[in-house]
Amino acid sequence: MLRRSFLKALAAIVPAGSMQSFLAAQAPTPSAPLPSRLHVVNPGEDYSNQPHSLGFSSILFKVPTHETNGGLFVIEHTNLLPGGPPLHLHLNQEEWFYVMDGEVAFQIGEQRVHLHPGASVLAPRRVPHTFSSVGPTPSRLIIAFTPAGKMEQYFRDGELNKDHAGDAEFMRPYELERVGPSPFWKQPSA
């Protein structure tokens, strides 16, 4: 099944709260054997018990790259504030977003949408995209990258270098391209 079809089908049938259960229940493949023990990640927790941040939200790793043999990386953005990442694209990953709380604006290609809890959207590889919380309270998202690529390492390294995590030079080794500033960033007053 094509990745895009799989992600659309997944979005339609699996509520966000049971995403971890759904992923854990999938049959193992020869290239990704089932771990010897399941690693349940409870609400509000990170897989390794070490939350991450790039400054505009807290990031919890829910499904690390090594558990899917590089096929999938899933994170939860909590306390997402207005701003978000720069307009960027992924050379080799689709990025799927599922809004759990709040209101989030997305720009994907030339299209802009505002999504509320229960809605999802897919940013295809090589298509510029960004997002920002826009409601009166912080937002919460589940984000899945497929294949995982270098995204987990980007978040780990970006956390250590928050001031430059959105710079084109910093992003490039992780197969990310900065396209420009986020259209959701507030412009300085004149």
Q: What is the 8-class DSSP label of residue 116?
A: -
pLDDT at position 164? 86
User: 39 and 47 in contact (C-beta within 8 Å)?
Assistant: yes
pTM for the model stands at: 0.77
Query: How confident is the prediction for the chain on average, in pLDDT?
Result: 84
Q: Which amino acid is at 13?
A: I
pLDDT band at 38 (very low <50, low <70, confident <90, very high): confident
Alpha helices in 26-161 (DSSP H): 151-160
Matching CATH number, 3-11+51-180, of 2.40.10.120, 2.60.40.420, 3.40.1440.10, 2.60.120.10: 2.60.120.10
pLDDT at position 27? 45
User: 164 and 170 in contact (C-beta within 8 Å)?
Assistant: yes
pLDDT at position 161? 83
Cα–Cα nearest to 75, from 158, 151, 13: 151
Question: Any idea what the Cα angle at residue 157 is, between residues 36 and 55, rounded to 5°?
Answer: 110
Q: What is the pLDDT of residues 84-121, one digit of tens each?
A: 899 999 999 999 999 999 999 999 999 999 999 999 99
